[in-house]
Amino acid sequence: MRAAHSVEQVRAAEGDLMARVPEGTLMQRAAYGLATVVADLLRGEQDAGVYGARVLLLIGSGDNGGDALYAGALLARRGAQVEALLLSERAHEGGLAALRAQGGRVVDLDAAHRPDVVVDGIVGIGGKPGLRPDAEAAVTRFPDAAVVAVDVPSGVAVDTGELDGPHVRADVTVTFGTHKGCHLLDPAAEAAGVVTLVDIGLDLPEPLVTALQADDVARLLPVPTAFDHKYTRGVVGVRAGSAMYPGAAVLCTSGASSGLAGMVRYVGEAADAVRARHPGVVAGAGRVQAWVVGSGGDDEAADGVKQALADGVPTVVDADGLKHAPRGSSIPLVLTPHAGELAAMLGVEREDVEARQLEHARRAAEEYAAVVLLKGRHSLTAAPDGRVRVTTSGVPWLAVAGAGDVLAGVVGSLLAAGLSPFDAASVGSWVHGSAATLASRGGPVTPEGVADAVPAVVRALLA
C-alpha cells in the first residue's frame, strides 16, 4: 500500500525522531537520498554521468533548501559543477558552507550556466500554493533541463493536491519519509512527475490517503475455492442500456462478465444485443447479490434505480442513474461519477470539482452516505467515514466513451463476489486501469478491449 500523510502528521513524526537522533541526521539522510537520485538521473541523461554535469540548485529559506545544498555538496564532490541560486535572504548556513567547501558556487540568475538538472529546493511541505515572481522566473528560465523537486514541487498545495498560481513541474520528485497528498492527488500529482521515496525512519500514523499496489489488489481479489459454484461466487445483476443506448448494456455486462463473479443477469431493453456478445448472460429478473444500474439508462434510469434498490442489495449507480441516487440510503451504494456528474450532484461547477477533487469526493461520500468513485486521471474512491484511496493505474487512452460502463460492471461483479463497497470500488478501479494499460500496449484502446483484458490482469496478479 502506498500511503500519503498530511503535513501535520509528517511534522509530528519528524519532531519525535529528531528528539532521538543526533542533530542534522534527518537532513543528511534526505540529502544523501536526493543526491543519489540526481546522480542516477544524470547517468541516464549523459554518458559521462555525474562528473562534469551542471547542476543548478534553487534554494529557499527552509529545510528543503538545506537538503538541496547538502545534496549539491555531495554531487560537487563527485565532480559535478554545482551552482546555487539563493531565492531568500536566508539560506541554510551549514548546507551553504558544505557546498562551498566542495567547490560549489552561489550565482545570480543571469550568471547561471545552462544546467543539465535543476533541483527545486524553493519551498517544502510548509509552503503555500503559488510562487513569487523571482522564483517563477528561475523555474522557467531553463526549460530544457530536467527538474528534480525536493520533497514536493514548490507552489502546490501539499495536503490536497490543489493548484493556485505558478508552480514547479518536476520530472522527478524525491520525497522523504512518506508520500504527501500532492504526490497522489490531482491536479498537483501530475506536476510531481515520477515520485521516489527515501526512507528516513519516520514512525507514522494512519495516512491521509492511500493507493493500492499490485500485492494489495491480489490480496483483496475474491478467489474461488474448490467447492464454490456460480451462486456462491456471486450473481451480479445489470440494469443498463436503453433503446437509445443499447451499447451501454453490452459494455456494462462485458465488465460484469470478466470472470470476477459467478453469474451475470441482465434486465433491460438491450437483451438481444447483450446475448449476442455474451451468451452466458442470463436475461431476465432473478435473485442477485449486487446490482449495476444507470449506464446508458436514459429515461429508464429512474425506474432502474428504484427497482434495484427495492432488492436491498449493494448497488453500483452510474451515469444517468446518478441523478436519481438517494441520499442517506441504508443500502450499500457505490456511486461512479466523473467530474461533471459529481458537480451536478453537489450543485457546483465542474471546474471546482476538478480543482479540489479530494474535497468534493469526500463531501459527496458524506452527503450521500455512499462510497464515491470519482473517475479521472487518478480516480478517487472516498468512503463516508473519510477514507480515500487513489487509483494510479491506467493510461490516457482510457479516456474513451464506454470505459465507464465497463468499470461499473467490474465494480458490480466485485460487490456481488463479496467485497465491501470501498474495496470493490478501489480494487475495480485499479483492475480496470491495469486492463487498459495491458490492452493499450502504448496505443489506443476500446472499452471492449479493456473488458477482455481483465482476466489476463487477474492471472498476472495471482501468479
Binding residues for K(+) are 64, 120, 154
The grid coordinates listed for 231 are 451462486
- What angle (nearest 5°) sits at the alpha carbon of residue 357, between those of residues 351 and 362? 130
Let me know the angle formed at the C-alpha of 119 by 117 and 121, rounded to the nearest 5 degrees: 170
Separation between Cα atoms, residue 114 and residue 440, nearest integer Å: 38
Domains of the chain listed by start with CATH number: 2-208 (3.40.50.10260), 214-462 (3.40.1190.20)
Measuring CA to CA, which residue among 263, 261, 326 is closest to residue 293?
A: 326
Known binding residues are: 63-67, 120, 124-130, 151, 154, 248, 296, 338, 375-379, 404-405
pLDDT in tens, the chain (463 residues): 999 999 999 999 999 999 999 999 999 999 999 999 999 999 876 556 899 999 999 999 989 999 999 999 999 999 999 999 999 989 999 999 999 999 999 999 999 999 999 999 999 998 889 999 999 999 999 999 999 999 999 999 999 999 999 999 999 999 999 999 999 999 999 999 999 999 999 999 999 999 999 999 999 999 999 999 999 999 999 999 998 999 999 999 999 999 999 999 999 999 999 999 999 999 999 999 999 999 998 888 999 999 999 999 999 999 999 999 999 999 999 999 999 999 999 999 999 999 999 999 999 999 999 999 999 999 999 999 999 999 999 999 999 999 999 999 999 999 999 999 999 999 999 999 999 999 999 999 999 999 999 999 999 999 9
What residues are paired with 81 via a beta bridge?
A: 54
What cell was used for 269? Answer: 431493453
Residue 59's alpha-carbon distances to 29, 150, 340, in angstroms, are 18, 10, 40
Do residues 261 and 207 make contact, with C-beta atoms less than 8 angstroms apart? no
- The whole-angstrom separation of Cα 137 and Cα 437 is 37
User: Among 446, 462, 14, which Cα is nearest to 247's?
Assistant: 446
DSSP 128: P
424 and 220 Cβ atoms separated by less than 8 Å = no
Question: Could you give phi then psi for residue 292, rounded to 5 degrees?
Answer: -120, 125
444, 207 Cβ separation under 8 angstroms:
no
Which residues, 6 or more positions from 119, have their beta carbon under 8 angstroms from its beta carbon? 34, 38, 55, 56, 57, 58, 68, 71, 72, 148, 150
In this predicted structure, what is the pLDDT of residue 288?
98
Which residues contact residue 90 at a Cβ distance below 8 angstroms, ignoring those fewer than 6 apart? 61
Residue 399 makes CB contacts below 8 A (sequence gap 6+) with none
Distance CA 84, CA 401 (A): 49
pTM of the model: 0.95
* Residues 6+ positions from 203 with CB-CB distance below 8 Å: 13, 16, 17
Q: Annotated binding residues for AMP, as ranges?
A: 375-379, 404
| Predicted local distance difference test score (pLDDT) of residue 362 | 98
